[in-house]
Structure 1
Amino acid sequence: MRRPYLRDDFRAAIEAGALGTGGREAQPVSASADGLFSALSEVDGDVYRQTARRKTFRIALADDVYFAKLHLGVGWREIAKNLLVGKLPILGARNEFDACRRLRDRGVPAPEVAAFGERGLNPAQRRSFVVCDALVGYASLEDIVNAWSASPPDPRLKRRVVVAAGRLTAAMHAAGVNHRDYYACHL
């Protein structure tokens, strides 16, 4: 396994034992990718999305809040399906890790990565994780638009929101990032 990326403040928090797992009291966690992957697999967090091969959840660590994603391998069928339609398969969390860092480097608002790691050579069974700072003080476009059904906005506000979403999308594309799962909840 390659050495994981751990931002200094995140490393200090996990090594100090701020990550509680499996209903147990928080214990220090090894800063290795294996140790962190195992701890994140057992952490008690608020699950936002979960499939058989991916889990997205919110965790509190010390006084900070993060979103973590665990990828458990996509399988050969998914790899073949993507290749047959001319797409590169998403094999794990590396795409998100690289995209967040690229966007931030170019001044495009994106979550800041606190940790990333991957293990396994077999692309169909590679396991990986990415942990990002929670975006505090932001509302997703999905939350904003859902409120509009009960109370429609002024058309000028609606237009400003659409223009802002377009500018963000253009900035992402200019930075070389193509979000393949681009729904209102991601804006």
Structure 2
Amino acid sequence: MHQTEIHLAPGVPDIGALWATSFEDLMGLGGALVGEQRGCVVRETPRQKVLRLPLPGTSDDGARPGEAPRGAGTGWIFLTRYGAGRLAECLAARLSQPRSSSFAARQWNLLCHLRKHGVGTPELLAMGEVTRPLFSKRSFLVTRALDSMQPLPEWLARHPAPLARRRAGRAIGLTLARIHSAGVHLPNLKATHLFLASASVAESPVEGDSLQGDALQGDALQGDALQGNTCAAQQIAARLPKKSAHPGKFRRLPEVSLASARGARIDSALSPSTQLDSLRQLFISLEAALQPSPREAYGVFLLALGRRLSRPERRRLWNQLTSSGAMKLTP
């Protein structure tokens, strides 16, 4: 019989705070969790099942009288159960950075790495896997839902004013710059993967986003080991630099979080062309009514990857971006 491992974030006292008594409960092998009665299945494929359910003590119209929190706070969570993937997917998760022993550990490591570099992500609560010599065929990941935020398309539809769109574009550009600075490639980036909140955070220069003086402990990549749990309890906005390097241009920008790192990998030598692919995928995924104007798109482009390039290289990449079949923009 194979052993199992469960890793909990500092703010989660035990798996009872997640309705469970065992690894099997969280994998759905021992029947449905109590919280599933009030939740729903968000996505289900032969290799993955994602459920949205409340933490104990979360109130809504269906809350049972006397229900109390169990130490992890209240609110809604996502429970992702991973099964056996394709051989190519398993090899990629095992052999490319961050090398991980399961699909759940891969997501945990990627999100921890991004949070360490100042990128907002869902709060990590728990991860578990069946221990295997090479790669686990069963694992789960629990994250807190971004309920106070909206997907980018929904946010843009609710905030059509030009000033709001410009500030959103600037916040997204800075977020993409931090992602690129962290060496993370997002080949499947879509507009629905970026969540924005109306609450604002101070604008900060990319050069000051490495947070080396305030780095999370225990998160550095070490082989294929699961990264430290300390990142789960951090509030990214509180850790960003409080002052802009350009006081005259200080603004309040929407908070941005990356909801999914599916298919991502860490590569310290990301080329500008590879970074451009993520930006292209983001723009293409927006419906026509929400597509950025040429000026808005160029502003995001400059912040995301253009400012550190020479003028000829910047022009070449911009032309490459605008000449793609799904985009017809001119600066």
TM-score (norm 1): 0.71
Larger radius of gyration: 2
Deviation at 1:34, TM superposition (A): 4.2
Residue 131 of structure 1 pairs with residue 142 of structure 2:
yes
Q: Say if 1:115 and 1:130, in contact at 8 Å, map to a contact too.
A: yes
Residues 2-54 of structure 1: per-residue CA shift (max 9 Å, x gap): 52211254343x326x62xxxxxxxx512xx4453246973423222221111
SS at 1:117's partner residue? strand
Where does residue 178 of structure 1 map in the other structure?
A: 185
Deviation at 1:186, TM superposition (A): 1.2
Write the mapping of 1:78-117 to structure 2, written as runs, cut at 5 A: 78=89, 92-117=103-128
CA separation of 1:59/1:158 partners in 2, compared to 1, >3 Å: closer, same or farther? same
Deviation at 1:77, TM superposition (A): 6.0
Among the aligned pairs, what percent are the same residue? 28
Where does residue 82 of structure 2 map in the other structure?
A: 71
Where does residue 29 of structure 1 map in the other structure?
A: 21
Where does residue 42 of structure 1 map in the other structure?
A: 32
CA separation of 1:110/1:179 partners in 2, compared to 1, >3 Å: closer, same or farther? same
State the distance in 2 between where 1:110 and 1:48 align.
19
Q: Say if 1:92 and 1:128, in contact at 8 Å, map to a contact too.
A: yes
Q: How many pairs align?
A: 167
Letter in 2 for 1:177: V
SS at 1:153's partner residue? coil
CA separation of 1:154/1:94 partners in 2, compared to 1, >3 Å: closer, same or farther? same
Unaligned segments of structure 2, at least 5 residues:
58-73, 195-331
Q: Say if 1:73 and 1:92, in contact at 8 Å, map to a contact too.
A: no
2:52 alignment partner, one of 58, 65, 76: 58
TM-score (norm 2): 0.43
Residues 106-149 of structure 1: per-residue CA shift (max 9 Å, x gap): 3321111100012253767611111011223111113224x26x
Letter in 2 for 1:182: L
Letter in 1 for 2:188: D
SS at 2:122's partner residue? coil
State the distance in 2 between where 1:182 and 1:40 align.
35
Residues 76-133 of structure 1: per-residue CA shift (max 9 Å, x gap): 26558x79xxx88995122210122122223321111100012253767611111011
Write the mapping of 1:3-18 to structure 2, written as runs, cut at 5 A: 3-12=5-14, 14-15=15-16
Q: Say if 1:58 and 1:67, in contact at 8 Å, map to a contact too.
A: yes
State the distance in 2 between where 1:183 and 1:176 align.
18
State the distance in 2 between where 1:115 and 1:42 align.
18
RMSD: 3.3
Residue 141 of structure 1 pairs with residue 173 of structure 2:
no
CA separation of 1:92/1:58 partners in 2, compared to 1, >3 Å: closer, same or farther? same
Q: Say if 2:5 and 2:130, in contact at 8 Å, map to a contact too.
A: no
Q: Say if 1:68 and 1:129, in contact at 8 Å, map to a contact too.
A: yes
State the distance in 2 between where 1:11 and 1:34 align.
18
CA separation of 1:40/1:173 partners in 2, compared to 1, >3 Å: closer, same or farther? farther
Q: Say if 1:74 and 1:125, in contact at 8 Å, map to a contact too.
A: no
Q: Say if 1:66 and 1:132, in contact at 8 Å, map to a contact too.
A: yes
Where does residue 25 of structure 1 map in the other structure?
A: none
